[in-house]
C-alpha cells in the first residue's frame, strides 16, 4: 500500500525551503534605490532628451528634413543685416522664431543630432519630463534651451591626439592678434617724450625675444615604433599602445625642434 506523504509526522521539506529563502533575504543587503530621493547614476551618453543651442542654429532645416517621425517644427523669418564694410552689399539671414520637438512622436534615434552641421542639437541625460497629457510633450525652444544646461561636457581627447581644426585655427588667430597688438604698442613706447628723451620701454620690449613655446610647435603625428613594441610586449592593448606611442613621438619631436631653435637662436 502506497504511503501518504501528507501525514503530520513527516517533515515538510517545502516549508523549510521557503523559510530558508526568507532568512537569506533578510540578511541580504538591499539594492533598491529610493527614487526620487536617490537619483540614478546614468551613463555619460544617456539619451534622455534633445537640447537646443539656439545661438548655433542657422535654420538650415536639415534636422527637420532628416527626422523619420517628422516631430521637429521650425519657423523663421528673414532679416536684412547691414554690410560689414562700406560699399559691400547687405546680407540676409534667417532668424529662428520657433523650434519645437514633439517627444510624443520622437523615437530618440538621434539622427537630428548627428546631421546638424553647426552643433545646435545635443543629447541631455535629463529624463524627468513626463506629463499627464500627451499634448504637453511638445516642447518649445525655451525649454530645449533650459535642458542645454544639463548636457555633459564632451570627453577629453586621447593623449597625443590633435585638437580639432576649429580649435587650432582659433588659437592661431588669437596668437596672431596678440602679436599684432604687441607690435602696434611697440612704436608708441619708442616715441620720444616731452624732454626729447626716448620714453621708457616696457619690460616686454626690453626683454630679448623669447624662444617659441612648445605649444607653438606643430608636429605631424606618427607612431614611435619602439614605444609601441615595448607596450605591446608589456601586455597593453594595441589601441592604448598606439595612443601612447603617438604621444611619445610628439614629445620627442617637440623637444628636438625646441632644442634646435634655441641653439640656432
pTM: 0.52
pLDDT in tens, 46-96: 889 999 999 999 999 999 999 999 999 999 999 988 887 888 888 888 999
pLDDT for 207? 45
Taking the domains of the chain in order of start, what are their residue ranges? 49-150, 215-265
pLDDT in tens, 213-224: 545 566 666 778
3-state secondary structure 220-259: CCCCCHHHHHHHHHCCCCHHHHHHHHHHHHHHHHHHHHHH
Does a cis peptide bond (omega within 30 degrees of 0) precede residue 36?
A: yes
The top-scoring range by mean pLDDT among 44-48, 141-145, 204-208, 229-233 is 141-145
Strand pairing category for 91-102 and 49-52:
unpaired
Q: Are 115 and 54 in contact (CB under 8 A)?
A: no
pLDDT in tens, 152-198: 887 777 777 777 777 777 778 888 888 888 888 776 655 555 444 44
Task: Quickly list DSSP for 44-89.
Answer: TT---EEEE-GGG-----HHHHH-TT--EEEEEEEEEEPPSSTTPP
Q: Are 50 and 151 in contact (CB under 8 A)?
A: no
Q: Does domain 49-150 have CATH number 3.30.70.3270?
A: yes
Q: Which three cell numbers stand for residue 190?
A: 619708442
Amino acid at each position: 500500500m502506497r504511503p501518504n506523504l501528507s501525514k503530520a509526522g513527516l517533515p515538510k521539506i517545502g516549508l523549510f525551503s521557503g523559510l530558508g529563502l526568507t532568512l537569506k533575504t533578510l540578511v541580504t543587503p538591499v539594492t533598491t534605490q529610493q527614487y526620487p530621493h536617490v537619483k540614478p547614476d546614468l551613463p555619460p551618453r544617456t539619451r534622455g532628451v534633445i537640447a537646443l543651442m539656439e545661438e548655433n542654429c542657422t535654420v538650415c532645416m536639415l534636422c527637420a528634413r532628416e527626422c523619420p517621425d517628422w516631430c521637429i517644427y521650425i519657423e523663421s523669418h528673414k532679416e536684412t543685416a547691414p554690410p560689414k564694410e562700406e560699399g559691400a552689399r547687405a546680407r540676409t539671414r534667417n532668424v529662428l522664431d520657433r523650434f519645437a520637438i514633439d517627444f510624443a512622436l520622437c523615437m530618440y534615434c538621434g539622427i537630428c543630432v548627428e546631421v546638424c552641421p553647426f552643433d545646435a542639437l545635443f543629447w541631455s541625460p535629463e529624463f524627468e519630463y513626463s506629463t499627464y497629457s500627451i499634448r504637453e510633450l511638445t516642447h518649445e525652444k525655451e525649454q530645449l534651451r533650459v535642458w542645454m544646461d544639463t548636457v555633459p561636457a564632451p570627453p577629453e581627447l586621447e593623449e597625443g591626439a590633435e585638437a580639432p581644426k576649429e580649435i587650432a585655427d582659433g588659437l592661431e588667430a588669437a596668437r596672431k592678434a596678440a602679436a599684432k597688438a604687441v607690435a602696434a604698442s611697440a612704436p608708441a613706447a619708442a616715441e620720444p617724450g616731452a624732454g626729447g628723451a626716448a620714453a621708457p620701454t616696457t619690460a616686454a620690449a626690453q626683454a630679448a625675444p623669447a624662444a617659441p613655446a612648445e605649444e607653438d610647435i606643430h608636429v605631424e603625428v606618427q607612431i614611435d615604433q619602439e614605444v609601441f613594441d615595448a607596450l605591446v610586449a608589456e601586455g597593453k592593448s594595441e589601441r592604448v599602445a598606439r595612443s601612447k606611442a603617438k604621444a611619445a613621438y610628439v614629445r620627442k619631436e617637440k623637444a628636438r625642434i625646441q632644442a634646435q631653435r634655441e641653439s640656432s637662436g
